Amino acid sequence: MKTVSRIEKPLEIEKPEVRKPLDLSYENIKLNVIANLFRLLVDIYGAPKAKAALSKVEGEEIVVAFPALKGAIVIRPHGGRIFAEVGDSDTAVARINFKVKAEKSFDAVEDIVKSSQRWGIFKVLFKYVLLGKMGLHGSLGALITTFKSLMIGDHEMYKKIKAKVLESN
């Protein structure tokens, strides 16, 4: 039996990866919540036609910017789903700039989400774009396809809510 008294090679210790500190600011948390909302809306409540239409813009990046929140959300459609993360992109094919106050950002997103897929585009056009509350830049087809996938106003859930509201009045 042979014993080794010395080490041939010095041990290489891997240094831990240096991570950026988490940004727990109010604006960043709000952007993360909106990004997760976009992802969940399409995954859970998305209409099959809208999910199928996302294949037209698969692999492209759409940026939804909130200057009042000092940040943006990058949306990447893939396989009938939306992957959304906080950040900015230089290779985006389209950009949406919400020019609303920070406290009104959720209201604007909610208004778009509760719109129907048929007439919701016109509502967004008249209520936000023409009044200067939203700026659209880049591929209009990619923007419309992405907006339609986020608009779930035709879902059964909203029909039940409207019926309960009418019954209570």
More confident residue, 143 or 14: 143
Neighbours of 161 (CB within 10 A): 12
Domain 26-168: homologous superfamily in CATH: SCP2 sterol-binding domain (3.30.1050.10)
Could you give the CA distance from residue 162 to residue 166 in angstroms, rounded to a whole number? 6
* CA dist list (Å): 23 to 17, 63, 69: 18, 20, 13
Q: What is the largest CA-CA distance in the chain?
A: 91
Sheet holding 94-98, edge to edge: 81-86, 71-78, 62-66, 94-98, 134-138
What do you get for the CA distance between the two ends of the chain, in Å?
91
Mind listing the pLDDT tens digit for each residue in 17-51? 766 666 778 888 899 999 998 898 888 877 788 88
- Write out the DSSP string of 12-75: PPPPPPPPPPP---HHHHHHHHHHHHHHHIIIII--HHHHHHGGGGTT--EEEEEGGGTEEEEE
pLDDT for res 149? 85
Neighbours of 127 (CB within 10 A): 15
Mind listing the pLDDT tens digit for each residue in 72-122? 999 999 888 889 999 988 899 999 999 999 888 888 888 888 887 777 788
Mind listing the pLDDT tens digit for each residue in 58-76? 889 999 999 999 999 999 9
